[in-house]
Amino acid sequence: MERVYIFDTTLRDGEQAPGFSMTTEEKLQMAHQLAKLGVDVIEAGFAAASKGDFEAINLIASEVKGPVICSLARALEKDIEIAAQALAPAERKRIHTFIATSEIHMKYKLRMSEEEVLERAKKAVEFARRFTDDVEFSCEDATRSQREFLYRVIETAIKAGATVINIPDTVGYAVPEEFGKLIEDILNNVPNVDKAIISVHCHDDLGLAVANSLTAVKHGARQVECTINGIGERAGNAALEEIVMAIKVRKDYFKDLYTGVNTKELYKTSRLLCRITGSFVPPNKAIVGDNAFAHESGIHQHGVLSHRLTYEIINPEDVGFPSTRIVLGKHSGRHALKAKLKEMGYDFTEEDLDRLFEKFKALADKKKEVYEEDLEALIYEEFVKVPEKEPIKIVHYQVQTGDNMLPTATVVLTYNSETKTATSTGNGPVDAVIKAIQKALGIEPKLVDFSIKALTPNTDAQAEARLVIELDGIRASGRGIDVDIIKASVNGFIDALNRVLMRKYYILSRAKIREEGTV
């Protein structure tokens, strides 16, 4: 078995993308999660770039254990010395120094000759070796570099003490076959290449970063530089989650190659990055997108419900994804509807299912997605008499909260023609009001899931709160919408509670009918 090392540059190259800046505390939080994910190297920043980057690298080097902690540095002694200072507390450290090797960069950016670049590369690596035995050297814009000169630079850097040689496709120019051949040629034409690990760092300007990285691995590269969610300069970097899962899923193709990544942490790491940066991944994003394990087509749904491997090559649990999601819409079939109803706690005869399926299809033609609450409305309309018990209704609630006080909520609600009042504290205003509702009713359902999203832009946006609760083995979801997120959350919780009670009533009424033999 041969290891492919995963070099995460989310905190350096990823953060350089517009809109993805992070505070020192956020970088530390992300670094701890990357360590939990099991990456081999965390490139924590560019120490000489700013005081903030220096402090973040230094803090990560002090507190994060496990991965090698790395700082980028130009091929300048002052940059390398600052990087070494920032990395000083790290148990395992790496200095990553670089200089451009393409004609266009040397002529227009560096204004240096080939010999000057060779000398600068040599001195930079030698100087970095004074601070650590782990030195990485990058040939910036390698894919547009003259091949023979590239070989000379790599040979010089290894001779000077570089232990990792990185071949960046800096501007996302390469295509897979060409990039794979480049790696192969480097391995065959640099005399001392066996003394270093060959790494690749691909950008996604042509949408080929992952494909190029994987082709490079197939041709002998043993480190891949990548980022969570593929964030990075311009169109981004190779997405870490895609690289790792491709190697894991396609063992038949990548043979004895493996990574040390704990794939069950991929989804959690992706979502943490989204929360920290305020960004989101497209729903169709591979591995971690909301639709990565979602199925609406009836044919696909039937296949997945019969055997997951028919339409899913990855088990959602393997990447920490909640589960396969069956989306009900106009393309869905009877198998998906039946499975969803069973999940909700309903058991219909085939005849009743046929009746409900017709109504479901009519509704699905009018909506993009049919939710649980829509199905329940159809069920109660078609099969269940309105119960005598009145639903829970909020009459009034009040929440007190602030910087230096414990959030406290008081609620007044009605249920079954009875008014109930309660007061409770909580970790936050939403937690406090939900606990007050539970106290007033004398029940404590388990909160399975809770999410809030903005439906409209700006600070006065409408918020949608979606909650899933479970009580006495019955699970239901609720939804609330309001410009006030507390009110949206309260409405969603009450909606979910009423649905649990309605399902309970339905189950009891159907059981009674079966006992009496009236159906």
DSSP strands (E only) in 291-430: 294-295, 325-326, 393-402, 405-415, 418-425
Number of domains in the chain: 3
Known binding residue 203? Answer is yes
User: pTM higher than 0.85, yes or no?
Assistant: no
Q: What is the pLDDT of residue 36?
A: 97
In a domain, residue 27? The reply is yes
In a domain, residue 284? The reply is no
Joined together, the tokens standing for residue 230 give: 């593929």
In a domain, residue 289? The reply is no
| ∠ Cα 185 191 196 (to 5°) | 85
The length of the chain, given as a count of residues: 519
Final residue belonging to a domain, choices 382, 407, 428: 382
Final residue belonging to a domain, choices 382, 403, 436: 382
Same domain, 420 and 486: yes
Within 92-208, residue ranges assigned H as helices are 103-105, 114-128, 147-160, 176-189
pLDDT per residue as tens, the chain (519 positions): 999 999 999 999 999 888 888 999 999 999 999 999 999 999 999 999 999 999 999 999 999 999 999 999 999 999 999 999 999 999 999 999 999 999 999 999 999 999 999 999 999 999 999 999 999 999 999 999 999 999 999 999 999 999 999 999 999 999 999 999 999 999 999 999 999 999 999 999 999 999 999 999 999 999 999 999 999 999 999 999 999 999 999 999 999 999 999 999 999 999 999 989 888 888 889 998 877 776 555 555 556 556 666 766 788 888 988 766 656 777 777 777 787 777 776 777 888 788 888 877 887 777 777 777 677 777 766 665 545 456 899 999 999 988 888 999 999 999 888 899 999 999 999 999 999 999 999 989 998 888 887 766 666 667 888 888 888 888 888 888 888 889 999 999 998 898 888 777 766 665 554 455 443
The dihedral sign for the CA sequence 184, 189, 195, 201? negative
In a domain, residue 24? The reply is yes
Final residue belonging to a domain, choices 363, 382, 401: 382
What CATH code is carried by the domain that includes residue 164? 3.20.20.70
Q: What is the pLDDT of residue 18?
A: 84
Determine whether 148 is exposed, middle or buried from the number of CB atoms within 10 Å of its CB (0-12, 13-18, 19+): exposed
In a domain, residue 282? The reply is no
Same domain, 95 and 216: yes
Same domain, 400 and 501: yes
The dihedral sign for the CA sequence 174, 177, 181, 183? positive
Determine whether 450 is exposed, middle or buried from the number of CB atoms within 10 Å of its CB (0-12, 13-18, 19+): middle
Same domain, 168 and 239: yes
Same domain, 365 and 456: no
Query: Which of 227, 222, 221, 256 shows the shortest CA–CA distance to 239?
Result: 227
Known binding residue 201? Answer is yes
User: Does residue 99 contact residue 120 with C-beta atoms inside 8 Å?
Assistant: yes
Same domain, 348 and 453: no
Same domain, 165 and 272: yes
Known binding residue 396? Answer is no
In a domain, residue 519? The reply is no
CB proximity list for 103: less than 8 A, separation 6 or greater: 144, 145, 146
Instruction: Give the domain extent around 437.
Output: 393-514
Q: What is the pLDDT of residue 518?
A: 41
Known binding residue 331? Answer is no
